[in-house]
């Protein structure tokens, strides 16, 4: 008897949406708040300005705005979404998670909805989860959001961190498709190293150090060993990309666009030079949005689409890295819904 196996669905990435709050904080504004300079911030990071949420905006407000933009751009009915994943490290509450709230805010019809937290790699982990669930048949149409209000966990007196982090949200739509191999999400590479946990962390507010009346405010904010994280980031960006490309039987020459976590322009320059990818194939918007953790990759993807840098059929390599330490890469062919 002949085998009649049904082709396994493939996860196809068909659209992107984005949102940043209206309020812009420039380097000149920061010069008035801490002992820093536009010259230092631009030369060491590449950041010129960033967006900060209004007092009455929480992470779900930013996430919902990005999802609405995605649904509008792709002409998608919110009732057709059956899976929503929100990657965030700054949720509205300890619980409930953001995703069910965002689903209701955007008119979805009771989809599977949960949060995922791998900090700046969170969006890559979210895409991996959505891909697995779509390809196994659990979901057919998934939205993955990266959303952050990092301004709420920044120590605004710490010049080493307050010039870097910011707020924003981005989202992608992933659909089941009967496409051929070489289409859709082509591969994923994820990893972690908890030995680096203290290099980038918020010390208090979890079960190990609950916040009490004696907790210093600074312990509820981002602490970072910048030099150590810089070394890790430049190394892992290259290694994770090379592992993923190797598994896919490709080289960097097959990549049309690198969309890496927008942490620091120097990290992107060092890594892309070592990988041998031309600067015009590297997405870069951190000068305008700063480091938005899990929102950073979808925001850069949306920016590349709007500027014409991202073209239909492009082979896109996305790479996230950050606290944990964690990292993740996703290789995908950009096939927008026409």
Say which residues have a Cβ less than 8 Å from residue 319's Cβ, sequence separation at least 6: 124, 237, 240, 241, 258, 259, 260, 261, 327, 328, 329
- Determine if 187 is a binding residue for ligand UT7 (CB under 6 A): no
Paired with 165 in beta bridges are 291
- Determine if 226 is a binding residue for ligand UT7 (CB under 6 A): yes
At 319 the three-state DSSP class reads strand
Q: Are 157 and 34 in contact (CB under 8 A)?
A: yes
Distance of alpha carbon 219 from alpha carbon 197, whole angstroms? 15
At 40 the three-state DSSP class reads helix
Stretch of 89-97, 168-176, 187-195, 221-229 contacting ligand UT7, by CB under 6 A: 221-229
- Determine if 160 is a binding residue for ligand UT7 (CB under 6 A): yes
- Determine if 117 is a binding residue for ligand UT7 (CB under 6 A): no
Which of 117, 261, 264, 285 is the catalytic position? 261
| Nearer of residues 11 and 166 to ligand UT7, judged by Cβ | 166
| Nearer of residues 48 and 159 to ligand UT7, judged by Cβ | 159
291 is catalytic: yes
13, 18, 70, 120: which one contacts ligand UT7 (CB under 6 A)?
A: 120
| Nearer of residues 146 and 322 to ligand UT7, judged by Cβ | 322
| Nearer of residues 131 and 291 to ligand UT7, judged by Cβ | 291
Paired with 148 in beta bridges are 168
Site size toward ligand UT7, by CB under 6 A? 21
Binders of ligand UT7 among residues 15 to 54 (CB under 6 A) are: 36, 40-41, 44-45
Q: Are 68 and 108 in contact (CB under 8 A)?
A: no
201 is catalytic: no
* Size (the chain), residues: 338
291, 294, 309, 329: which one contacts ligand UT7 (CB under 6 A)?
A: 291
53, 86, 87, 163: which one contacts ligand UT7 (CB under 6 A)?
A: 163
Paired with 320 in beta bridges are 328
Say which residues have a Cβ less than 8 Å from residue 201's Cβ, sequence separation at least 6: 222, 223, 323
What residue spans of 37-121 are helical by DSSP H? 38-45, 59-74, 98-105
Q: How far is the CB of 232 from ligand UT7 (least distance, A)?
A: 8
Which of 98, 120, 162, 221 is the catalytic position? 120
- Residue closest to ligand UT7 (Cβ): 226
Q: Are 109 and 206 in contact (CB under 8 A)?
A: no
| Nearer of residues 229 and 330 to ligand UT7, judged by Cβ | 229
Residue 279 CB-density burial (10 A; 0-12 exposed, 13-18 middle, 19+ buried): exposed
Q: Are 192 and 327 in contact (CB under 8 A)?
A: yes
Q: In terms of DSSP bridges, do strands 185-192 and 200-201 run parallel, antiparallel, or are they unpaired?
A: unpaired
261 is catalytic: yes
At 222 the three-state DSSP class reads coil
Binders of ligand UT7 among residues 305 to 334 (CB under 6 A) are: 322
What angle (nearest 5°) sits at the alpha carbon of residue 15, between those of residues 10 and 16? 130
6, 32, 208, 227: which one contacts ligand UT7 (CB under 6 A)?
A: 227
Spell 216-231 as b/e; 16+ CB within 10 A means b: eeebbbbbbeeeebbe
Binders of ligand UT7 among residues 70 to 109 (CB under 6 A) are: none
| Nearer of residues 103 and 263 to ligand UT7, judged by Cβ | 263
Contact map string, positions 255 to 274, toward ligand UT7, x by CB under 6 A:
--------xx--x-------
140, 159, 270, 274: which one contacts ligand UT7 (CB under 6 A)?
A: 159
Q: How far is the CB of 325 from ligand UT7 (least distance, A)?
A: 9
Q: Give me the residues that bind ligand UT7 (CB under 6 A), please.
A: 36, 40-41, 44-45, 120, 159-160, 163, 200, 226-227, 229-230, 233, 263-264, 267, 291, 293, 322
Please list the active-site residues: 120, 261, 291
């Amino acid at each position: 008897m002949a085998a009649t196996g049904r082709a396994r669905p493939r996860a196809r990435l068909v659209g992107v949406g984005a949102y940043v709050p209206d309020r812009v904080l420039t380097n000149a504004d920061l010069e008035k708040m801490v002992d820093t300079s536009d010259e230092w911030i631009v030369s060491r990071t590449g950041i010129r300005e960033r967006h900060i949420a209004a007092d009455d905006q929480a992470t779900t407000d930013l996430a919902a705005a990005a999802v609405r933009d995605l649904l509008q751009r792709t002409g998608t009915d919110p009732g057709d979404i059956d899976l929503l994943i929100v990657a965030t490290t700054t949720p509205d509450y300890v619980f409930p998670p953001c995703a069910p709230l965002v689903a209701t805010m955007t008119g979805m019809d009771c989809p599977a909805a949960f949060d995922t937290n791998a900090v700046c790699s969170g969006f890559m982990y979210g895409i991996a989860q959505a891909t697995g669930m779509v390809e196994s048949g659990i979901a057919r149409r998934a939205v993955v959001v990266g959303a952050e209000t990092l301004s709420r966990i920044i120590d605004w007196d710490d010049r080493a961190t307050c010039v870097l982090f910011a707020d924003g949200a981005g989202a992608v739509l992933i659909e089941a498709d009967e496409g051929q191999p070489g289409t859709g999400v082509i591969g994923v590479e994820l990893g972690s190293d908890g030995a680096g946990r203290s290099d980038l962390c918020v010390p208090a507010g979890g079960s190990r150090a609950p916040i009490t009346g004696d907790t210093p405010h600074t312990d509820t904010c981002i602490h970072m060993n910048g030099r150590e994280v810089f070394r890790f980031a430049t190394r892992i960006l290259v290694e994770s990309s090379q592992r993923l490309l190797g598994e896919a039987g490709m080289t960097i020459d097959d990549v049309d666009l690198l969309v890496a976590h927008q942490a620091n322009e120097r990290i992107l320059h060092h890594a892309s030079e070592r990988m041998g990818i031309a600067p015009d194939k590297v997405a870069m918007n951190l000068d305008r949005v700063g480091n938005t953790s899990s929102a950073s990759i979808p925001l850069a993807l949306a920016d590349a689409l709007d500027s014409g840098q991202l073209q239909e059929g492009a082979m896109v390599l996305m790479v996230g890295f950050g606290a944990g330490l964690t990292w993740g890469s996703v290789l995908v062919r950009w096939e927008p819904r026409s």
